[in-house]
Structure 1
Amino acid sequence: MCGRFFIGQPPEVYRAFYGYSEQPNFPGRFNVAPTQPVPVVIRESGERHFRLMRWGLWPTWLKDPSDFPTLFNARIETAAEKPAFRGALRHRRCVFLADGFYEWRREGTGKAATKMPFAVRRTDGAPMAFAGLWEPWMGADGSEVDTAAIITCSANGTLSAIHERMPAILAPESIGAWLDAAVDAPEAARLCRPCPDEWLRLDPVSERVNNARNDDAGLPEPVAPPASRRGPAKAAIVQGELF
Protein backbone atom coordinates (compact mmCIF):
# COMPACT_ATOMS: atom_id res chain seq x y z
CA MET A 1 0.00 0.00 0.00
CA CYS A 2 0.97 3.64 -0.11
CA GLY A 3 -0.39 5.84 2.66
CA ARG A 4 2.16 8.69 2.78
CA PHE A 5 4.38 10.35 0.20
CA PHE A 6 6.44 13.48 -0.36
CA ILE A 7 6.79 16.15 -3.08
CA GLY A 8 9.92 18.19 -2.52
CA GLN A 9 11.37 19.45 -5.79
CA PRO A 10 10.67 22.89 -7.31
CA PRO A 11 7.40 23.07 -9.31
CA GLU A 12 9.26 23.68 -12.57
CA VAL A 13 10.95 20.27 -12.26
CA TYR A 14 7.59 18.50 -12.44
CA ARG A 15 6.35 20.75 -15.24
CA ALA A 16 9.40 19.90 -17.35
CA PHE A 17 9.17 16.20 -16.50
CA TYR A 18 5.44 15.81 -17.27
CA GLY A 19 4.99 18.48 -19.92
CA TYR A 20 1.75 20.11 -18.76
CA SER A 21 0.95 23.67 -19.80
CA GLU A 22 -0.02 25.15 -16.42
CA GLN A 23 2.60 26.90 -14.31
CA PRO A 24 1.53 26.11 -10.74
CA ASN A 25 3.52 27.43 -7.81
CA PHE A 26 3.18 25.14 -4.83
CA PRO A 27 5.32 24.54 -1.74
CA GLY A 28 7.10 21.32 -0.97
CA ARG A 29 5.08 18.82 1.04
CA PHE A 30 6.88 16.13 2.95
CA ASN A 31 4.16 14.05 4.61
CA VAL A 32 1.15 13.95 2.30
CA ALA A 33 -1.70 11.90 3.78
CA PRO A 34 -5.07 10.61 2.52
CA THR A 35 -7.96 13.11 2.24
CA GLN A 36 -5.51 15.97 1.58
CA PRO A 37 -5.38 17.80 -1.78
CA VAL A 38 -2.75 16.31 -4.08
CA PRO A 39 -1.27 17.41 -7.43
CA VAL A 40 -1.90 15.09 -10.36
CA VAL A 41 -1.49 15.09 -14.13
CA ILE A 42 -4.39 14.21 -16.43
CA ARG A 43 -4.92 14.21 -20.19
CA GLU A 44 -7.74 16.24 -21.75
CA SER A 45 -8.25 17.04 -25.44
CA GLY A 46 -4.91 15.50 -26.25
CA GLU A 47 -2.94 17.67 -23.81
CA ARG A 48 -1.52 17.09 -20.33
CA HIS A 49 -2.84 19.25 -17.51
CA PHE A 50 -2.01 19.87 -13.84
CA ARG A 51 -4.89 19.45 -11.38
CA LEU A 52 -5.42 19.37 -7.63
CA MET A 53 -7.59 16.53 -6.36
CA ARG A 54 -8.66 14.97 -3.09
CA TRP A 55 -6.57 11.91 -2.24
CA GLY A 56 -9.25 9.32 -1.63
CA LEU A 57 -11.48 8.34 -4.54
CA TRP A 58 -15.24 8.86 -4.40
CA PRO A 59 -17.06 6.98 -7.19
CA THR A 60 -19.52 9.03 -9.22
CA TRP A 61 -22.40 6.85 -7.98
CA LEU A 62 -21.64 7.57 -4.32
CA LYS A 63 -24.47 9.43 -2.60
CA ASP A 64 -23.04 10.12 0.86
CA PRO A 65 -19.27 10.02 1.41
CA SER A 66 -19.55 10.53 5.17
CA ASP A 67 -19.67 6.78 5.88
CA PHE A 68 -17.67 5.65 2.84
CA PRO A 69 -14.16 4.19 3.30
CA THR A 70 -11.16 6.24 2.21
CA LEU A 71 -10.13 4.62 -1.07
CA PHE A 72 -6.62 6.02 -1.33
CA ASN A 73 -5.16 2.89 -3.00
CA ALA A 74 -6.46 0.67 -5.80
CA ARG A 75 -4.94 -2.77 -6.38
CA ILE A 76 -4.16 -3.17 -10.08
CA GLU A 77 -4.96 -6.90 -9.89
CA THR A 78 -8.63 -6.21 -9.07
CA ALA A 79 -9.28 -2.62 -10.23
CA ALA A 80 -11.05 -3.76 -13.41
CA GLU A 81 -13.53 -5.77 -11.31
CA LYS A 82 -14.29 -3.28 -8.54
CA PRO A 83 -17.32 -1.00 -9.08
CA ALA A 84 -15.44 1.89 -7.46
CA PHE A 85 -12.50 1.68 -9.88
CA ARG A 86 -13.44 -0.01 -13.15
CA GLY A 87 -14.91 3.08 -14.84
CA ALA A 88 -11.89 5.19 -13.91
CA LEU A 89 -9.50 2.50 -15.14
CA ARG A 90 -11.17 2.67 -18.54
CA HIS A 91 -11.63 6.41 -18.87
CA ARG A 92 -9.95 8.50 -16.14
CA ARG A 93 -6.34 7.64 -15.42
CA CYS A 94 -3.91 10.10 -13.85
CA VAL A 95 -0.38 10.37 -12.49
CA PHE A 96 0.40 11.58 -8.97
CA LEU A 97 3.29 14.03 -8.62
CA ALA A 98 5.77 12.65 -6.08
CA ASP A 99 9.44 12.28 -5.26
CA GLY A 100 9.01 9.25 -3.06
CA PHE A 101 6.90 7.60 -0.40
CA TYR A 102 7.13 6.23 3.11
CA GLU A 103 6.72 2.64 4.17
CA TRP A 104 6.99 0.99 7.57
CA ARG A 105 8.74 -2.28 8.37
CA ARG A 106 7.29 -4.27 11.22
CA GLU A 107 9.90 -5.49 13.66
CA GLY A 108 9.36 -7.91 16.51
CA THR A 109 6.17 -9.66 17.56
CA GLY A 110 3.33 -9.20 19.99
CA LYS A 111 3.32 -6.21 22.32
CA ALA A 112 7.02 -5.65 21.69
CA ALA A 113 6.48 -5.15 17.95
CA THR A 114 7.49 -1.80 16.47
CA LYS A 115 7.33 -0.21 13.03
CA MET A 116 10.37 1.46 11.52
CA PRO A 117 9.72 4.09 8.82
CA PHE A 118 11.65 4.27 5.57
CA ALA A 119 11.69 6.82 2.77
CA VAL A 120 11.61 5.22 -0.67
CA ARG A 121 12.93 7.29 -3.56
CA ARG A 122 14.47 6.87 -6.99
CA THR A 123 18.22 6.33 -7.03
CA ASP A 124 18.56 8.85 -9.89
CA GLY A 125 16.59 11.57 -8.05
CA ALA A 126 13.94 11.80 -10.78
CA PRO A 127 10.26 12.39 -9.96
CA MET A 128 8.40 9.22 -9.06
CA ALA A 129 5.36 8.84 -11.34
CA PHE A 130 2.62 7.02 -9.42
CA ALA A 131 -0.11 5.59 -11.64
CA GLY A 132 -3.50 6.75 -10.40
CA LEU A 133 -7.24 6.78 -11.08
CA TRP A 134 -9.54 9.75 -10.70
CA GLU A 135 -13.27 10.45 -10.56
CA PRO A 136 -15.29 13.67 -10.50
CA TRP A 137 -17.89 13.58 -7.73
CA MET A 138 -20.92 15.83 -7.32
CA GLY A 139 -22.82 16.24 -4.08
CA ALA A 140 -26.57 16.69 -3.71
CA ASP A 141 -25.99 20.42 -3.20
CA GLY A 142 -24.16 20.70 -6.52
CA SER A 143 -20.68 20.87 -5.01
CA GLU A 144 -18.00 19.22 -7.14
CA VAL A 145 -14.83 17.46 -6.01
CA ASP A 146 -12.24 15.69 -8.13
CA THR A 147 -10.91 12.65 -6.26
CA ALA A 148 -8.08 10.20 -6.91
CA ALA A 149 -6.42 6.98 -5.74
CA ILE A 150 -2.92 5.55 -6.23
CA ILE A 151 -2.58 2.25 -8.08
CA THR A 152 -0.59 -0.40 -6.20
CA CYS A 153 1.10 -3.59 -7.34
CA SER A 154 3.28 -6.30 -5.82
CA ALA A 155 6.54 -5.06 -4.33
CA ASN A 156 9.73 -5.41 -6.31
CA GLY A 157 12.80 -7.09 -4.85
CA THR A 158 14.08 -3.93 -3.21
CA LEU A 159 10.87 -2.98 -1.43
CA SER A 160 9.99 -6.55 -0.46
CA ALA A 161 12.57 -6.10 2.31
CA ILE A 162 9.94 -4.08 4.19
CA HIS A 163 6.52 -4.57 2.52
CA GLU A 164 4.69 -6.78 0.05
CA ARG A 165 2.97 -3.94 -1.89
CA MET A 166 4.13 -0.73 -3.57
CA PRO A 167 2.77 2.10 -5.73
CA ALA A 168 2.83 1.34 -9.44
CA ILE A 169 5.71 3.58 -10.59
CA LEU A 170 5.47 4.30 -14.30
CA ALA A 171 8.48 4.40 -16.59
CA PRO A 172 8.73 7.83 -18.25
CA GLU A 173 8.01 6.28 -21.65
CA SER A 174 4.80 4.68 -20.28
CA ILE A 175 3.22 7.86 -18.90
CA GLY A 176 1.68 8.86 -22.22
CA ALA A 177 -0.04 5.52 -22.73
CA TRP A 178 -1.29 5.44 -19.15
CA LEU A 179 -2.91 8.86 -19.48
CA ASP A 180 -4.43 8.13 -22.90
CA ALA A 181 -8.01 6.86 -22.56
CA ALA A 182 -7.75 5.50 -26.11
CA VAL A 183 -5.48 2.81 -24.65
CA ASP A 184 -7.82 0.13 -23.33
CA ALA A 185 -7.89 -0.88 -19.68
CA PRO A 186 -6.14 -4.27 -20.03
CA GLU A 187 -3.25 -2.73 -21.96
CA ALA A 188 -2.98 0.15 -19.49
CA ALA A 189 -3.04 -2.25 -16.56
CA ARG A 190 0.00 -4.05 -17.95
CA LEU A 191 2.00 -0.85 -17.42
CA CYS A 192 1.40 -1.13 -13.65
CA ARG A 193 4.02 -3.66 -12.70
CA PRO A 194 6.81 -3.64 -10.11
CA CYS A 195 9.54 -1.25 -11.24
CA PRO A 196 13.12 -2.52 -11.67
CA ASP A 197 14.91 -3.14 -8.38
CA GLU A 198 17.72 -0.74 -9.23
CA TRP A 199 15.30 2.20 -9.47
CA LEU A 200 14.73 2.40 -5.73
CA ARG A 201 16.68 3.40 -2.65
CA LEU A 202 15.39 2.84 0.89
CA ASP A 203 16.55 4.98 3.81
CA PRO A 204 15.52 4.81 7.49
CA VAL A 205 13.90 8.09 8.53
CA SER A 206 12.74 9.76 11.72
CA GLU A 207 9.68 8.42 13.50
CA ARG A 208 8.34 11.98 13.36
CA VAL A 209 6.86 10.95 10.01
CA ASN A 210 4.39 8.77 11.90
CA ASN A 211 2.41 11.90 12.77
CA ALA A 212 0.75 13.36 9.67
CA ARG A 213 0.76 16.81 11.30
CA ASN A 214 4.54 16.89 10.93
CA ASP A 215 5.47 18.27 7.51
CA ASP A 216 8.98 19.59 6.96
CA ALA A 217 11.92 18.95 4.66
CA GLY A 218 13.75 16.95 7.31
CA LEU A 219 11.25 14.10 7.29
CA PRO A 220 12.56 12.21 4.22
CA GLU A 221 16.20 12.75 5.20
CA PRO A 222 18.07 9.54 6.13
CA VAL A 223 18.81 8.88 9.79
CA ALA A 224 20.78 6.19 11.56
CA PRO A 225 18.44 3.49 12.85
CA PRO A 226 18.16 3.23 16.66
CA ALA A 227 20.96 1.19 18.21
CA SER A 228 18.58 -1.62 19.12
CA ARG A 229 17.65 -2.02 15.44
CA ARG A 230 21.07 -1.77 13.86
CA GLY A 231 22.46 -4.71 12.06
CA PRO A 232 25.48 -5.25 9.87
CA ALA A 233 23.93 -3.57 6.82
CA LYS A 234 24.26 -0.02 5.54
CA ALA A 235 21.78 2.75 6.36
CA ALA A 236 20.57 2.84 2.76
CA ILE A 237 18.99 -0.30 1.31
CA VAL A 238 19.48 -0.56 -2.44
CA GLN A 239 18.49 -3.36 -4.83
CA GLY A 240 17.01 -5.61 -2.19
CA GLU A 241 19.75 -5.48 0.42
CA LEU A 242 18.55 -6.24 3.93
CA PHE A 243 19.49 -5.14 7.44
Structure 2
Amino acid sequence: MTIVYESARDTHHYQERFQLPCVAPAPFVRPGERGLFVRRPRGDRGGASPDSRYEAALGRWGLIPLFAGSQDYPATFEARGESASRERDFLQPWKRGHRCIVLADALYRRGENDQRMVRVTRADGEPLALAGLWNGWRAPDGQCVESFALLTLPSEEQPGERRAVFLREGWLDDWLHCPVEEAAACLRPYDLGKLLRTPVDEAPPREVA
Protein backbone atom coordinates (compact mmCIF):
# COMPACT_ATOMS: atom_id res chain seq x y z
CA MET A 1 0.00 0.00 0.00
CA THR A 2 1.95 2.98 1.26
CA ILE A 3 5.52 3.56 0.13
CA VAL A 4 6.20 6.92 1.80
CA TYR A 5 4.28 9.92 3.08
CA GLU A 6 5.19 13.59 3.14
CA SER A 7 4.60 15.08 6.57
CA ALA A 8 2.53 18.24 6.96
CA ARG A 9 5.28 20.79 7.41
CA ASP A 10 3.30 23.95 8.16
CA THR A 11 2.97 24.07 11.93
CA HIS A 12 -0.25 26.10 11.75
CA HIS A 13 -2.11 22.90 10.83
CA TYR A 14 -1.22 21.49 14.24
CA GLN A 15 -2.03 24.76 15.97
CA GLU A 16 -5.43 25.22 14.31
CA ARG A 17 -6.64 21.63 14.54
CA PHE A 18 -5.10 20.52 17.81
CA GLN A 19 -3.82 23.66 19.59
CA LEU A 20 -0.32 22.21 19.50
CA PRO A 21 2.81 24.36 19.13
CA CYS A 22 4.27 21.49 17.16
CA VAL A 23 7.88 21.20 16.04
CA ALA A 24 8.38 20.54 12.35
CA PRO A 25 8.42 16.79 11.61
CA ALA A 26 10.76 14.97 9.25
CA PRO A 27 9.73 15.89 5.67
CA PHE A 28 9.38 12.32 4.34
CA VAL A 29 8.68 9.17 6.32
CA ARG A 30 9.10 5.58 5.14
CA PRO A 31 8.22 2.35 6.96
CA GLY A 32 10.66 1.85 9.81
CA GLU A 33 11.46 5.56 10.14
CA ARG A 34 10.29 7.97 12.82
CA GLY A 35 7.22 10.07 12.20
CA LEU A 36 5.09 12.56 14.11
CA PHE A 37 1.57 11.63 15.23
CA VAL A 38 -1.16 13.27 17.29
CA ARG A 39 -3.07 11.43 20.03
CA ARG A 40 -5.04 12.20 23.14
CA PRO A 41 -2.63 12.78 26.05
CA ARG A 42 -1.16 9.71 27.70
CA GLY A 43 -2.66 9.16 31.13
CA ASP A 44 0.63 7.94 32.62
CA ARG A 45 2.51 11.16 31.94
CA GLY A 46 2.36 14.51 33.66
CA GLY A 47 3.71 16.68 30.86
CA ALA A 48 0.44 17.69 29.24
CA SER A 49 -1.82 20.42 30.60
CA PRO A 50 -4.91 19.06 32.41
CA ASP A 51 -7.03 20.88 29.83
CA SER A 52 -5.22 19.44 26.81
CA ARG A 53 -7.17 17.16 24.50
CA TYR A 54 -4.19 16.38 22.27
CA GLU A 55 -0.47 15.84 22.31
CA ALA A 56 2.13 15.21 19.62
CA ALA A 57 4.58 12.32 19.77
CA LEU A 58 7.39 10.89 17.67
CA GLY A 59 7.51 7.19 17.01
CA ARG A 60 8.58 4.47 14.62
CA TRP A 61 6.29 3.80 11.67
CA GLY A 62 5.82 0.12 12.35
CA LEU A 63 3.90 -0.66 15.53
CA ILE A 64 5.77 -2.66 18.17
CA PRO A 65 3.29 -4.90 20.07
CA LEU A 66 3.56 -5.28 23.83
CA PHE A 67 4.69 -8.91 23.48
CA ALA A 68 7.50 -8.16 20.98
CA GLY A 69 10.94 -9.42 21.94
CA SER A 70 12.72 -6.49 20.32
CA GLN A 71 11.92 -3.18 18.65
CA ASP A 72 12.77 -4.69 15.26
CA TYR A 73 9.37 -6.39 15.17
CA PRO A 74 8.54 -6.67 11.43
CA ALA A 75 5.76 -5.69 9.06
CA THR A 76 3.31 -3.78 11.23
CA PHE A 77 3.22 -0.63 9.13
CA GLU A 78 -0.42 -1.21 8.20
CA ALA A 79 -3.38 -2.34 10.29
CA ARG A 80 -6.47 -3.59 8.49
CA GLY A 81 -9.34 -1.41 9.62
CA GLU A 82 -11.90 -4.20 9.31
CA SER A 83 -9.95 -6.65 11.49
CA ALA A 84 -7.40 -4.72 13.61
CA SER A 85 -9.55 -5.15 16.71
CA ARG A 86 -9.06 -8.95 16.41
CA GLU A 87 -5.48 -9.20 15.17
CA ARG A 88 -2.76 -10.19 17.63
CA ASP A 89 -0.43 -7.34 16.67
CA PHE A 90 -3.07 -4.61 17.06
CA LEU A 91 -5.57 -6.03 19.55
CA GLN A 92 -4.21 -4.28 22.65
CA PRO A 93 -3.77 -0.81 21.09
CA TRP A 94 -7.30 -1.03 19.69
CA LYS A 95 -8.82 -2.09 23.02
CA ARG A 96 -6.94 0.63 24.88
CA GLY A 97 -8.12 3.32 22.49
CA HIS A 98 -4.58 4.11 21.38
CA ARG A 99 -5.70 5.88 18.24
CA CYS A 100 -3.68 8.57 16.50
CA ILE A 101 -3.64 10.89 13.51
CA VAL A 102 -0.77 11.54 11.10
CA LEU A 103 -1.03 14.80 9.16
CA ALA A 104 0.49 14.43 5.69
CA ASP A 105 0.81 16.87 2.81
CA ALA A 106 0.98 13.91 0.43
CA LEU A 107 1.10 10.16 0.28
CA TYR A 108 3.10 8.30 -2.38
CA ARG A 109 1.95 4.89 -3.60
CA ARG A 110 2.21 2.63 -6.59
CA GLY A 111 -0.05 3.49 -9.52
CA GLU A 112 -2.56 1.17 -11.10
CA ASN A 113 0.02 -0.31 -13.48
CA ASP A 114 2.76 -0.51 -10.80
CA GLN A 115 5.18 1.20 -13.16
CA ARG A 116 4.97 4.71 -11.76
CA MET A 117 4.37 6.29 -8.40
CA VAL A 118 1.30 8.38 -7.67
CA ARG A 119 1.37 11.39 -5.34
CA VAL A 120 -1.97 11.64 -3.52
CA THR A 121 -3.04 14.99 -2.04
CA ARG A 122 -6.24 16.76 -1.05
CA ALA A 123 -7.69 18.87 -3.84
CA ASP A 124 -8.23 21.81 -1.48
CA GLY A 125 -4.56 21.90 -0.45
CA GLU A 126 -5.23 20.92 3.16
CA PRO A 127 -3.25 18.03 4.69
CA LEU A 128 -4.49 14.46 4.70
CA ALA A 129 -5.43 13.16 8.15
CA LEU A 130 -4.31 9.52 8.24
CA ALA A 131 -5.91 7.29 10.88
CA GLY A 132 -3.55 5.16 12.93
CA LEU A 133 -2.91 3.16 16.08
CA TRP A 134 0.01 3.75 18.44
CA ASN A 135 1.71 1.78 21.17
CA GLY A 136 4.38 2.26 23.82
CA TRP A 137 6.72 -0.74 24.11
CA ARG A 138 9.03 -1.21 27.08
CA ALA A 139 12.55 -2.17 25.99
CA PRO A 140 14.69 -4.49 28.15
CA ASP A 141 16.69 -1.47 29.35
CA GLY A 142 13.48 0.20 30.56
CA GLN A 143 13.18 2.69 27.71
CA CYS A 144 9.69 3.32 26.35
CA VAL A 145 9.77 3.05 22.57
CA GLU A 146 6.74 4.54 20.84
CA SER A 147 5.50 3.41 17.46
CA PHE A 148 2.45 3.56 15.22
CA ALA A 149 0.70 1.87 12.29
CA LEU A 150 -1.57 3.38 9.65
CA LEU A 151 -5.02 1.91 9.18
CA THR A 152 -6.14 0.71 5.76
CA LEU A 153 -9.34 -0.35 4.02
CA PRO A 154 -9.92 -2.31 0.79
CA SER A 155 -9.65 -0.13 -2.30
CA GLU A 156 -12.97 0.53 -4.01
CA GLU A 157 -11.43 1.34 -7.37
CA GLN A 158 -8.69 -1.33 -7.37
CA PRO A 159 -9.93 -4.74 -6.18
CA GLY A 160 -7.29 -6.58 -4.21
CA GLU A 161 -5.48 -3.36 -3.25
CA ARG A 162 -5.72 -1.38 -0.03
CA ARG A 163 -5.84 2.31 0.78
CA ALA A 164 -4.86 4.36 3.81
CA VAL A 165 -7.81 5.67 5.83
CA PHE A 166 -8.20 9.42 5.35
CA LEU A 167 -10.32 10.87 8.15
CA ARG A 168 -12.97 13.45 7.36
CA GLU A 169 -12.24 16.87 8.78
CA GLY A 170 -15.09 16.86 11.27
CA TRP A 171 -14.15 13.45 12.67
CA LEU A 172 -10.65 14.16 13.97
CA ASP A 173 -11.68 14.72 17.58
CA ASP A 174 -14.16 11.82 17.42
CA TRP A 175 -11.47 9.44 16.19
CA LEU A 176 -9.17 10.29 19.08
CA HIS A 177 -11.75 10.52 21.87
CA CYS A 178 -14.78 8.37 21.06
CA PRO A 179 -15.44 5.12 22.98
CA VAL A 180 -13.69 2.05 21.58
CA GLU A 181 -16.96 0.51 20.44
CA GLU A 182 -17.66 3.55 18.24
CA ALA A 183 -14.21 3.89 16.65
CA ALA A 184 -14.84 1.67 13.63
CA ALA A 185 -17.59 4.06 12.45
CA CYS A 186 -14.87 6.63 11.63
CA LEU A 187 -13.18 4.27 9.19
CA ARG A 188 -15.06 5.11 6.02
CA PRO A 189 -13.94 5.32 2.38
CA TYR A 190 -12.89 8.86 1.50
CA ASP A 191 -14.56 10.79 -1.32
CA LEU A 192 -12.14 10.24 -4.22
CA GLY A 193 -13.42 13.42 -5.85
CA LYS A 194 -11.70 15.38 -3.07
CA LEU A 195 -8.29 13.92 -3.90
CA LEU A 196 -5.70 14.71 -6.54
CA ARG A 197 -3.56 11.85 -7.87
CA THR A 198 -0.48 13.02 -9.76
CA PRO A 199 1.81 10.49 -11.48
CA VAL A 200 5.48 10.90 -10.58
CA ASP A 201 8.52 8.97 -11.72
CA GLU A 202 9.56 7.87 -8.25
CA ALA A 203 9.13 8.49 -4.55
CA PRO A 204 11.23 11.23 -2.94
CA PRO A 205 14.89 10.18 -2.49
CA ARG A 206 15.81 8.86 0.95
CA GLU A 207 18.44 11.52 1.47
CA VAL A 208 15.91 14.39 1.24
CA ALA A 209 15.88 16.31 4.53
Task: Give the TM bin, normalised by the shorter chain.
Answer: 0.7 to 0.9
Distance in 2 separating the partners of 1:214 and 1:199: 31
Alpha-carbon distance in 1 for matches of 2:14, 2:121: 15
- Hey, what's the Cα distance between the residues in 2 that align with 1:188 and 1:27? 27
1:214 to partner: Cα distance:
4.2
List gaps (5 residues or longer) in structure 2: 42-49
- Counterpart position of 2:90: 85
**Structure 1 stretch 189-198 or stretch 126-135: which is displaced more?**
189-198
Maintained 8 Å contact 2:2/2:108: yes
What is the alpha-carbon distance in structure 2 between the residues aligned to residue 101 and residue 129 of structure 1?
Answer: 11
Amino acid at match of 1:24: C
Q: Is residue 178 of structure 1 aligned with residue 154 of structure 2?
A: no
1:10 aligns with 2:10: yes
RMSD value, Cα: 2.2
Q: Which has the higher contact order (CA 8 A, sep 6+)?
A: 2
1:50 matched to 2:56:
yes
Determine the C-alpha separation between the residues in 2 that align with 1:133 and 1:12. 24
Query: What is the identity, as a one-letter code, of the residue corresponding to 1:147?
Result: S
CA deviation after TM superposition for structure 1 residue 15, in Å: 2.2
Cα deviation for residue 106 of structure 1 reads 5.2
Query: Which is higher, the Rg of structure 1 or of structure 2?
Result: 1
Query: Could you tell me the TM-score, scaled by structure 2's length?
Result: 0.86
The one-character-per-residue Cα deviations of 1:58-106 (angstroms, maximum 9, x if unpaired) are 011212234x313111010110110111221232000012112011125
| One-letter identity of the residue aligned with 1:25 | V
Structure 2 distance, partners of 1:101, 1:206, is 14
Give the conservation status (yes or no) of the 8 Å contact 1:153–1:165.
yes
What TM-score, normalized to structure 1? 0.75
Q: Deviations over 1:131-150 (max 9, x none)?
A: 00000001111121111000
Separation in 1, partners of 2:156, 2:7:
22
Q: How many aligned positions are there? A: 199
Give the equivalent residue in structure 2 for 1:73. Answer: 78
Gaps of 5+ in 1: 108-113, 217-243
Whether the 8 Å CA contact 1:156–1:196 is kept in 2: the answer is no
Q: In structure 2, what residue type is equivalent to 1:177?
A: D
- State the partner residue of 1:138: 138
In the superposition, relative to structure 1, how do residues 129 and 60 fare at CA in structure 2: closer, same or farther (>3 Å)? same
Secondary structure at the counterpart of residue 134 of structure 2:
strand
